[in-house]
Structure 1
């Protein structure tokens, strides 16, 4: 059984360790980091009775890692790359300075083998985020390089336990070893699914939770491909935030549609009886799959969901819809003739996808043109049209946006960083261009991203 406390879920700040400044060592103890991440090869037992080789980890002593920060407080994160290939770290969903966003060549040079880099930023928003490489992305994420990042609210909402859930598949054969990361015919369609479903790198973990208590389940879908519906059964539960932003009102936790990169915060009131269980399921047409269980322990705490303080809204500016400029984007197959360029950050060797008929050439120094230019402080409506029969979770770095409308379904007015476009769906979202820089804009099905469905938006004064 796995019992997790709020503090045990923190990846410790390595104040006693060596600090790495941007591009080199920093000797002063006063300049030591809040967190240290070591990108390294790793071996781990994913399937029973086997050790999976050639994995990768951000924290070899505690995989998969969880970083915890506080809203409005500056954090220093030192990253050392001990792989024999380049990498970077992107902080998914955080609205931080462009230079800290972790996209090769667009915001920084790749962290090459043996090098280190210091990320320094102040998270403006509270909620559930995550982080991952943006270089050799399919291989590195596919082998395990993902971590959950939690930014605490200014005031504790009152949970008894906080449980981050890093949800992802691995592509393994029956011997527990990696098989090919993708198949070209799948990359040209919906993507290549994993074969082994895990939560926090475990198959069907069981977590001990306080009977009658209030638990915050932080679902982070860090998979490279899967678009799925997840559900919590047992106890009383409700979704209180999506993609780091509190909902205007709670929604059912029975069917939560998530795509790669998205997150959901679930408030769970644990059953009163010792030994009673709550289950997190992946909904499937051929039968739901249990991903994790939460076992009530001890005497009932007799808590109620009404005991929780409402989550405060994040300070995301509201767009001026009456004066917003509309920009159109079309997501579809790549025109013939486009080919990926060789890059230190790898290529899948194919170009299947494009934005506005232009395929991303890969992570190369450029110069490259933005898909659109936006003026700092101005409001925009982005009209996102999916002309393909495949789903595309479209993620924008550095800026949050509000869902407005769809030609296929009614959308709640959610604030998010990822819009899931369904088959042949056209969706409009609105934002304020409040964060200057070149911001990556791409599908988070990584095979789609790495075969052309990517670009960037420029916000300039």
Structure 2
């Protein structure tokens, strides 16, 4: 495909990291983002070889507002090709950041202007879709917050970016994937972090209401999460408001948060200063692992969760199931092996996985057609069949869908963009094909994606 010209918006966005932040770009200017090599001390010795938007910190939280144009000027300050995908945003196809499908890769030293107006409020994130495994495994994943047009009334807002890294005892990177891991459940890291920190503590008003945005940007790990307090309520899932009450996760029934997924939780902070509300992860054969802590400070605000009004729904079209056409998709291993996908945007040298028994040949491979062609404005049911013993978080770009049913469990009707498909599960999801373009459709265990479990759906 040829390079294209893109229409640019007129507004700016801000980025923030933890309690600090980046300054707002001047009116009419784009927020400048530079992908660059980075160094950070996970242990006593700084880890070199990271990739971030800062030389010594994780990628920042990027902020926008629902219905307001955003302009992000991305400069590639590395020697590798790259492109940035805005995970979960239902924006124009040309801005989706998938090389050869929506744009050309961004070479070292080049600049690409992303401009879009997010239709939905909520919690989203960003990551590269070229050299995906290498750049994500080395740190290039960040949270994106799209604020509601009206303040929902929280006293604090805390983003927590969950991800792990594979490091040796000196803090140097180990190989970021293994063939054994790629052919199974993926290769886990050994240093678990929240915002690149281990068990960070964030201060918020005692007795106040905090919006905790938990984002799994890991390449592999499925987190099993719960809180140390029952003074909490899940209010949004994968960016979209929850329209009914969900059970609060516990140590006995933790929340499964797969790569790509997000959960927004309203937390009432403890009344006494110094007390904490902890985000905990269950790990096999280990005590609960503290991922992050919210610590109460100051005089008690004496807020109540019942004060919060439901978040306004996002403008997502609901499918007409009586008129929906069904398409089947089978996720499994690559039949009889197969050639590894091409290396234009990174190859792992193997082909282990497939959709409809055909492995993805690569981002720039010729003759690779869509998995399905959907007509714009029509309703569809996608039947997803997992023929492998491994779990697959299946992500669809550019569109939102609603789970309908499963052969293994009850699926709550949450508006989402990523569904964790269990071992031997057959699940049906429904959507309206209301966003034209070629939309990537893949597993978000990146080792699976890069070894065949990927494709795209066309909306015409």
TM-score by length of 1: 0.93
8 Å CA contact 2:330–2:387 kept in 1: the answer is: yes
Report the 3-state secondary structure (helix = DSSP H, G, I; strand = E; otherwise coil) of the residue aligned with 2:243: strand
- Residue 14 in 1 paired to residue 30 in 2? no
- Partner residue of 2:359? 359
Report the counterpart of residue 266 of structure 2 in structure 1. 267
Counterparts of 1:64 and 1:338, CA distance in 2: 36
Show CA shifts across 1:365-417 (max 9, x none).
Answer: 53420001010111000000000000000000000000100000011111100
Tell me what 2:235 maps to: 240
Confirm whether residue 416 of structure 1 aligns to residue 411 of structure 2: no
Q: Residue in 2 aligned with 1:374?
A: 374
Q: 2:42 pairs with 27, 39, 46, which one? A: 46
CA contact (8 A) 2:39 2:57 kept: no
Q: Is the 8 A contact 2:341 2:351 kept in 1?
A: no
193, 199, 203: which one pairs with 1:208?
Answer: 203
CA distance in 1, matches of 2:166, 2:398: 30
- After the TM superposition, which residues 48-447 of structure 1 pair with which residues of structure 2 at under 5 Å, given as runs? 49-60=44-55, 62-234=57-229, 236-251=231-246, 252-254=248-250, 255-286=254-285, 287-364=287-364, 366-447=366-447
Correspondent of 2:29 among 16, 20, 32 = 32
1:9–1:440 distance in 2 versus 1, CA, 3 Å: farther
Deviates more, 1:202-211 or 1:251-260: 251-260
Q: 1:25 aligns to what?
A: none
In 2, Cα distance between the equivalents of 1:185 and 1:343? 20
C-alpha distance in structure 1 between counterparts of 2:442 and 2:178, whole Å: 20
For residue 232 of structure 1, report the CA deviation from its aligned partner. 1.1
* Per-residue deviation, 1:344: 2.4
Cα separation, partners in 2 of 1:12 and 1:335, compared to 1, 3 Å: farther
CA distance in 2, matches of 1:235, 1:370: 46
Instruction: State which drifts further: 271-280 or 226-235.
Output: 226-235
CA–CA distance in structure 2, aligned partners of residues 100 and 6 of structure 1: 24
**Aligned residues, how many?**
440
Q: Distance in 1 between matches of 2:211 and 2:351?
A: 41
CA distance in structure 1 between the aligned counterparts of 2:337 and 2:216, rounded to whole angstroms: 34
Q: What are the superposed Cα offsets for residues 205-228 of structure 1, whole Å, 9 maximum, x if unpaired?
A: 011111101111100000000112
Task: Return the alpha-carbon distance in structure 1 between the equivalents of residues 267 and 127 of structure 2.
Answer: 28
Unaligned stretches of 5+ residues in structure 2 = 1-15
Q: Which residue of 2 aligns with 1:24?
A: none
The alpha carbon displacement at 1:250 in A equals 3.3
In angstroms, what is the RMSD of aligned CA positions? 1.5
Is the Cα contact below 8 Å between 1:208 and 1:297 reproduced in 2? yes
Secondary structure at the aligned position of 2:170 is classed as coil
Q: By how many angstroms is 1:31 displaced?
A: 4.7
Cα deviation, residue 292, structure 1: 1.0
- In structure 1, what is the Cα distance between the partners aligned to 2:406 and 2:243? 19
Task: Please name the residue that 1:23 is paired with.
Answer: none
Using the alignment, how far apart are the partners of 1:232 and 1:249 within structure 2?
20
Are residues 183 and 105 of structure 1, via their aligned partners in 2, closer, same or farther at CA, if it must alter by over 3 Å? same
Post-superposition offset of 1:14: 3.4
CA–CA separation in structure 2 for the residues paired with 1:365 and 1:334: 17
Post-superposition offset of 1:51: 0.1
Aligned-partner SS, 1:250: coil
What is the alpha-carbon distance in structure 2 between the residues aligned to residue 173 and residue 186 of structure 1? 18
**Structure 1 unaligned spans of 5+:** 16-29
Does the CA contact (< 8 Å) of 1:56 and 1:144 recur in 2? yes
> What is the rounded CA distance, in whole Å, between the counterparts of 1:61 and 1:41 in structure 2?
9
Q: 1:62 to 1:192 in 2, by over 3 A?
A: closer
1:9-66 deviations in Å (ceiling 9; x for gaps): 6543333xxxxxxxxxxxxxx7521x2210000001112x110000010233652311
**In structure 1, how many angstroms separate the alpha carbons of the residues matched to 2:230 and 2:405?**
33
1:202 and 1:6, CA in 2 relative to 1: closer, same or farther beyond 3 A? closer
